[in-house]
Amino acid sequence: MSNIDDAVREAVELFVEQLKDLIQRAALESVQTALNGGSSSRRGSKRQLGQSIALPQRHETSSKRSPAELAALIKKLHTHIAKHPGLRIEKIAAGLAVPTKALVLPVKRLIGDRKLSTKGQKRATVYFAQ
């Protein structure tokens, strides 16, 4: 038993030493990167200071949908749920190719209008058309 304990202790000490070396190298690379103006050879960045990165365009989440867009999404959602009853919102969103956040209001409206029924709670909620 003592030999096993010694072997485990040696393996742990070796691991700790290797980990310390890796942390020191990472810290040194971070300092060198900061001193070299932010370019990192590890990530392959060749960008100079002052150059900007083109960010992907994303939809404004704070902008309201028009009533026509909302009505179209509600109709599309209702027909999808009628064809595929018992799905969770994640699967419905994937089927409609829209984010789940975009379906919150249409689902509430359909439930309020009693065109949808639900079973389950929170993330386990499944939807059925009436």
Tell me how crowded residue 117 is: count the other CB atoms within 10 A of its CB: 14
Residue 6, pLDDT score: 84
Q: Tens digit of pLDDT for each residue in 15-36?
A: 888 888 889 999 888 888 888 8
Q: Tens digit of pLDDT for each residue in 67-112?
A: 999 999 999 999 999 999 999 999 999 999 999 999 999 999 999 9
How many Cα atoms sit within 13 Å of 89 on the Cβ side? 20
CATH of domain 67-129: 1.10.10.10
pLDDT at 58 over 80: no
Return the higher-pLDDT residue of 61 and 101. Answer: 101
Residue 43, pLDDT score: 53
Q: Tens digit of pLDDT for each residue in 107-129?
A: 999 999 999 999 998 888 999 99
Residue 82, pLDDT score: 95
Residue 59, pLDDT score: 52
Q: Mean per-residue pLDDT for 53-61?
A: 52
Residue 84, pLDDT score: 94
The H or E element that residue 105 is part of is helix 104-112
